[in-house]
Structure 1
Amino acid sequence: MNSPKSDTSLRNIAEKIKDVSISGEANRIVVGVDFGTTYSGVAWGYTGSPSEIHVIQSWPGGMNLTSPKVPSKIAYEKDGIKWGFQVKPFQNCIECFKLCLDPNLRPPDFVSLPNIYAQLRQHDKVVQDVVRDYLQMLYDHTITTLTRALGSTFVDNTRIEFILTCPAVWSDRSKNATLQAAEGTGMAKSCKIRLISEPEAAAIYTLKTMQPKNLQVTDDSCFVVCDAGGGTVDLISYEILQTDPLQVKESVTGTGELCGSAFLNRRFESFVKERLGSAAYYAMKEKTKIAALKSWEEYVKRVFVDGEDQDVFPIQFPGLPDDEARGIDCGFMTVTREEVQAIFEPVIQEVVRLVDGQITAVQSKGRQVKSILLVGGFGSSEYLFMRLKNKYADVLSTKDNPDVVLQPVDSWTAVVRGAVIRGMETIVQTRKSRYHYGVKYWEYFDENIHSEEHKYWDTTREKWLAENQIKWYIAKGTEMSEDESISFPFYITFEDHHSRVLVDELVCCQETFPPKSIDSTVTTVCKLRSDLTTVPKSLYTKGRNSKDVEYEGLHFTMEMSVLSAALLFELRVDGVRYGEVTADFAT
């Protein structure tokens, strides 16, 4: 249902549409998609009316109830795909499948990756298939919603851009897997899909809503954005470059972990198991467990505050027999405030540890943290807000800045709203690289520098070379701009029978001091395949070895741009773009 304000906003857009049809301006519809571990959301805006962002609230299977998010669940049934609210309690479904996109991350203990993979095999699917199917459902419903709001003629004839969010802690390979899945849906119909990291999107929305009251350009002040969601908690810090228009840059390298609010559900289940005993817990009906978890989420987890006004919390357990010793009475389990605190504490401590680390990193650069912006589903928790406020009030607050921790309105939808804003304007000017980036290469062998295990004979140039060496071009923490690219220079030799399609290896490392050659700390990001067949012969140098074998040599550069959540590549010779460069992340 739309509120009167929403109706007014849509009427304003309708008027703008009429103006555009007359003036011929090329305005766009920008759609933000927040694909989450437990819930997902979609928002949209129109560049002709950029201040108005609309969050989709009505979903298939929602029974006319409104919600800014839809469950990230999917079920493959004989009569088709069910998703989101269409998946009913007790229905066999696949959930938390987003985590399978980055198998290198340690999954939370409430998620069994083997069980998810078993479900995938049952339906003859891989995780990219499921992600693609779910995103297709989101896309179809989005187009239906836009058509109802704006009319089919306008939607069919207007450029629609999709901005997809992903965790900042993910590897480049996992981000690419998300992008590839999205490009297999209707999202890629009108334009190229863009990725943005979830904390950056949250920061964009939050900082925009703070203007102009709390934003000012200073030499040493920064904002820490804590995006606490269901599966992940991401942190990133920004400093203000200018306020009109708003422009910011990253202050230090972002951090994050798998420690979202879904961990609280797992700890609650463990608490119930301990209270009832294993035998009684496993004998409990699934309907009872689901009702209890829903009661915990809606009446305790989301509203819990560490205060003296409520010492006990009754949680529904329909069907359980009365048991005074275990606190069961009339289908309710009594849980004390101290017990709720014990459930929260390890997760809260992990968030505090991450915030502490980000503040310390900012201070090590000679800057001060002015505010902590708390966003996301878990970020809307009153208890988390108060714990952070109480911890940092004395440490960071000043007379001129007493409110250190800020919890903006609509914090649960901050990420998806920020994605829409990013599609309309560029606010973040520079970012900090989270890794060292480099390429594998060879160089002439020097016994004083290189290991014998890397030594090999080049039959074309007739020289001993050292392979598996690394040339680092981007240092961890380097300030990067989307408008600037990093050049990787290469020199390659060919004989006539050699392929002109080259395969180079982009690698990364998180260590403070990266190694000079391949070792266990180095990870392959992707294989870069460069097609040099279009490079004019005149640009090659020629040579001949002692065996009278002719060869050609070519100097070229690989240009890499680091975006919010993606890497872009192109190949240049003497500054001119030639051929194609494709990044293969499936290696």
Structure 2
Amino acid sequence: MSLPQRKKYSGRTRRLLLAFDIGTTFSGISYSILDPGNVPEILPVTRFPSQEQIGGDSKIPTVIYYNSAGNPCAIGAETLKEGIEEDAEQNGWTQAKWFKLHLRPRPSGQLNSPNTDPGIPPLPPHKTVVHVFKDYMHYLHRCAREYISETHGDRLWSAVKDDIMYVLTHPNGWGGPQQTQMRAAATLAGFVANGEEAQSRITFVTEGEASLHFCLTNGLSLSADKKSGVMIVDAGGGTIDVTAYRKRKNSSFEEIAIPECHFQGAAYVTMRAKEYFTDLLSNTRFSQDIETLERRFDRNTKHVFRKDSEPHHIQFASHRERDSALNIRGGRLTLSGVVVAKMFEPSITCIVDAVRAQKAASHFSIKSLFLVGGFSASTWLFDRVREKVEALGITVSRPDTFVNKAVSNGAVSFVLDHVVTTRVSRLTYGLYCDTPFRSEDPEHQKRANRTFRDQFDGKRMLKGKYQIILPKGIIKNIRIRETVEFKEAFTQKSTDKKSLKTISAAILVYTGKKSNPTWASDDPGSYSIACRIEADTSAVTLVKRKSTVTSQTYYRMDYEVVLLFGLTELVAQIAWSDDSGNETRSPAKVVYAT
């Protein structure tokens, strides 16, 4: 099926929607000009500085060269110039590539450890990942401005430049901390003037969801059977994003399993190739050629590999160079097809295992799979994945337009068409709280040493209860619609009225194996702070009371934290009853540690 006919833009003024897909290895830009009364179109940026002669290519390298002063001197398509490597070596430039992987979430239990991986190139000296993202975003923004101005006229850009809507993509496994850093980078890059505008004009979508929209906008034949689902596998430069969906009666889509994200994209094939070259040549006279071999494998061998029965030759040195023990003749290193296939194997296995997991976790049968993303262009990868996945009873297809950046087009469609309205919780969310001690409850009896007397009303309370707000996955048929609210009541007490003018509540995620975690002390290493909810509560009604313990006057504040998990970002509000008993609300700030 394809999307229903897109509606006319109902806004009163012309606006521009810009989508940036910053991939690990390649990036793309798509946009839509929103004219009142017209049906919006999705258009890619297909011309970039230093790439004008190619035409029609909507992807550019996610690479930056920095000079010794820390300033960018070649970015994106500019890094494809002939002789750029020689210029970089001569001038002492530092290359930043695959820098997106430095933003990835840390594994559970390693939240305070450095986010490093031996195979990922380090960031340039004195640069944080936000700084590098800022420089690359600034370049993309300039490319978009120049292309749109040249294609549609300077007057259009001048009319919309102060009210552009932005959508940024990220892998399935990323969340609030990564969104916070990307939003900060976009603000530094000049997308918006300040943090308030960044919150309202910059939105996010996962690469999996953007890929679904891309497939639908291109009229791909997704199953229209309400009882079955479709799987989207976005095989990119850094990550493999796997998401399963089902079409609902109203033509919207819902996730039917927890989306997966694995770090086994095309860059990891190159990492394994470099490991092979290093093991082979590190103690030989060819050790200085390892980077050249890596670069030529990445740009050529990896893309043309089709059969494990055919050898591949990589020219890297003078034609006079030879060493039969190392399979080097005429300055060429010969790799057997079997060796190259082993470099791909972990990524292929990862995709197939993720498909099996999604199939098993889904509450609906999955009959079809669409493989998109730059890595899907590999014939070897596609053929091996199709062979193994179709043995599971799932047909595998690949869009004809996979060479372009499907995700940036899908990101624009996400805003315009917005077909996914129900999602599955990726984590269990909750909070620590005190609960009244019940002496007849065996679970309370076991924890009697953690009780205390409330200083205001003298009640015996028990510490350390984990109150679940939202369970992980589809439990008891819970699916998160964008309009569904999750509420938790709070009570704050204090003898000082001023201390109740603001609140800060920690939202914790549980990453352990229990299906119904209840007590923090049972699995202490499995809880971590996802974010903090901060709000101005100065308008909340206070109730004046006298302590039954100390006879002091104290103030009680009753309110609810309202959370919306069904959107692409967590949204929080504070709710309370005013003097007339009517519910009043105010927005709350979601703060992530980065």
TM-score by length of 1: 0.84
Q: Indicate the residue corresponding to 2:313 in structure 1.
A: 314
Return the alpha-carbon distance in structure 2 between the equivalents of residues 176 and 514 of structure 1.
Answer: 30
1:4 aligned partner:
none
Q: How does 1:134-283 map to 2 (within 5 A)?
A: 134-158=136-160, 159-188=163-192, 191-211=200-220, 214-242=221-249, 246-276=251-281, 278-283=283-288
- The Cα RMSD (Å) is 2.8
Sort the Cα spacing of 1:423 and 1:580 in 2 relative to 1 into closer, same or farther, 3 A: closer
Asked whether 1:439 is paired with 2:431, we answer yes
Q: Which residue of the other structure, out of 33, 36, 44, is the alignment partner of 1:55? A: 44
CA contact (8 A) 1:488 1:558 kept: yes
CA offset at residue 262 of structure 1? 0.6
- C-alpha distance in structure 2 between counterparts of 1:80 and 1:409, whole Å: 35
Report the 3-state secondary structure (helix = DSSP H, G, I; strand = E; otherwise coil) of the residue aligned with 1:186: coil
Q: Give the partner amino acid of 1:369.
A: I
Unaligned runs of 5+ in 1: 1-18, 398-402
Check whether the contact 1:437–1:472 (CA below 8 A) recurs between aligned residues: yes
1: distance between equivalents of 2:40 and 2:315?
43
Whether 1:31 and 2:18 are equivalent positions in the alignment is: yes
Cα 1:307–1:278 shift into 2, 3 Å: closer
1:436 positional shift: 0.9
Question: Kindly tell me: are residues 99 and 277 of structure 1, through their superposed partners in 2, closer, same or farther at Cα, counting changes over 3 Å?
Answer: closer
CA shift, 1:541, in A, is 5.8
Q: Is the 8 A contact 2:430 2:470 kept in 1?
A: yes
SS in structure 2 at match of 1:68: coil
Shift of the 160–239 alpha-carbon distance from structure 1 to 2, 3 Å rule, reads same
Q: Give the partner amino acid of 2:490.
A: F
Query: For residue 406 of structure 2, what is the aligned residue in structure 1?
Result: 414
**Residue matched to 1:81:** 72
Which of 435, 458, 478 is matched with 2:454 structurally? 458
Secondary structure at the aligned position of 1:104 is classed as coil
> Which range is displaced more, 64-73 or 409-418?
64-73
Letter in 1 for 2:225: T
Counterpart in 1 of 2:506?
Answer: 505
Deviates more, 1:163-172 or 1:510-519: 510-519
In the aligned structure 1, how far is the partner of 2:188 from the partner of 2:181? Answer: 11
Cα deviations by residue, 1:476-534 (Å, 9 ceiling, x for unpaired): 11411222221122222232353421111101123351421332111210111121112
Q: Against the structure 1 CA distance between its residues 468 and 64, is the aligned structure 2 distance closer, same or farther, given a 3 Å change threshold?
A: farther
Deviations 1:31-54 (A, max 9, x none): 111122232221112244656432
Q: Does 1:40 align with 2:27?
A: yes
Say if 1:330 and 1:438 are closer, same or farther in 2 by CA, change over 3 A: same
Match of 1:554, SS state, is strand
Secondary structure of 2:433's partner? strand
Matches of 1:372 and 1:423, distance apart in 2: 24
- Residue 10 of structure 1 corresponds to which residue in structure 2? none
1:290-349 deviation per Cα after TM superposition (whole angstroms, max 9, x unaligned): 3x33432343212322376xx222222133712233232323222222222122122211
Residue identity matched to 2:402: D
Please give the alpha-carbon distance, in whole angstroms, between the structure 1 residues aligned to 2:463 and 2:97. 44
Q: Which whole-Å CA distance do the structure 2 matches of 1:109 and 1:55 have between them? A: 35
Please say if residues 222 and 368 of structure 2, whose CA atoms lie closer than 8 Å, have aligned partners that are also in contact. Answer: no
Q: CA deviation at 1:142?
A: 1.7
After TM superposition, give the deviation of residue 469 of structure 1 in Å: 2.1
**Deviations 1:331-376 (CA, angstroms, capped at 9, x unpaired):** 32222222221221222112221122112222xx2x2211111011
Any idea what the Cα deviations from partners look like across 1:204-263, whole Å, max 9, x if unmatched? Answer: 11133235xx234323211111111111111110011258xx521111111121111111
Do 2:428 and 2:468's aligned partners in 1 also have CA atoms closer than 8 Å? yes
> Contact conserved, 1:437 with 1:507, CA < 8 A, in 2?
yes
Partner of 1:533: 538
Match of 1:400 in 2: none
Partner of 2:472: 476
In the alignment, is the contact (CA less than 8 A) between 2:534 and 2:590 conserved in 1? yes
What's the counterpart of residue 373 of structure 1?
A: 370
Tell me the secondary structure at the aligned position of residue 530 of structure 1. Answer: strand
Change (3 A) 1:270 1:467: same
Tell me whether 49-58 or 136-145 shows the greater mean CA deviation. 49-58
Contact 1:201–1:418 under 8 Å retained in 2: yes
**Residues 1:449 and 2:446 are matched in the alignment:** no
8 Å Cα contact 2:372/2:406 also seen in 1: yes
Aligned residue number for residue 567 of structure 1: 570
Contact 1:233-1:258 within 8 A present in 2 as well:
yes
Residues 1:556 and 2:559 aligned together: yes
Q: Which amino acid aligns with 2:273?
A: F
Residue of structure 1 equivalent to 2:111: none
Aligned-residue offset at 1:417: 0.9
**Structure 1 residue 107: Cα displacement:** 5.4
Q: Distance in 1 between matches of 2:485 and 2:43?
A: 34
Q: 1:530 to 1:41 in 2, by over 3 A?
A: same
Q: Which amino acid aligns with 2:530?
A: V
CA distance in 2, matches of 1:51, 1:530: 38
1:208–1:242 CA distance, 2 compared to 1 (3 A):
farther
Determine the C-alpha separation between the residues in 1 that align with 2:390 and 2:586.
56
- One-letter identity of the residue aligned with 1:526: C
Question: Secondary structure at 1:187's aligned position in 2?
Answer: coil
Cα distance per residue 1:38-76 (max 9 Å; x no partner): 322211122446564322233334474454223333344
One-letter amino acid of the structure 2 residue matched with residue 323 of structure 1: D
* Matched position secondary structure for 1:520: helix
Deviation at 1:79, TM superposition (A): 8.6
CA distance in 2, matches of 1:200, 1:408: 19
Q: Which runs of 4+ in 1 moved over 6 A?
A: none
Contact 1:31–1:162 under 8 Å retained in 2: yes
Letter of the 2:316 partner, please give it. Answer: F
Which letter does structure 2 place at the counterpart of 1:138? L
Between the aligned partners of 1:100 and 1:79, the Cα distance in structure 2 is: 18
Structure 2 equivalent of residue 350 of structure 1:
350
AA partner of residue 375 (structure 1): V
Deviations along 1:544-575, one digit per CA (max 9) or x if unpaired, are 43422122222211111125532111111136
**Residue 324 of structure 2: aligned partner:** 324
**Structure 1, 214-223 or 44-53: larger mean CA deviation:** 44-53
Helix, strand or coil: the match of 2:463? strand
Q: C-alpha distance in 2, partners of 1:535/1:307?
A: 69
The whole-number CA distance in structure 2 between the counterparts of 1:263 and 1:24 is 44
Tell me the SS of whatever aligns to 2:224.
coil
Deviation at 1:202, TM superposition (A): 0.8
Contact 1:107–1:258 (CA under 8 A) maintained in structure 2:
no
Note if contact 1:541-1:554 (Cα within 8 Å) is conserved in structure 2. no
Q: Secondary structure at the match of 1:434?
A: coil
Does residue 547 of structure 1 match 2:550?
Answer: yes
- TM-score w.r.t. the length of structure 2 is 0.83
SS at match of 2:534: strand
1:315 partner SS = strand
Number of equivalenced pairs: 540
1:402-427 CA-partner distances (Å, limit 9, x unpaired): x5333442355111110011121211
Cα distance in 2 between the residues matched to 1:512 and 1:377: 38
Gaps of 5+ in 2: 1-7, 108-114
Change (3 A) 1:300 1:73: closer
The one-letter code of the counterpart of 1:71 is: P
Amino acid at match of 1:179: R
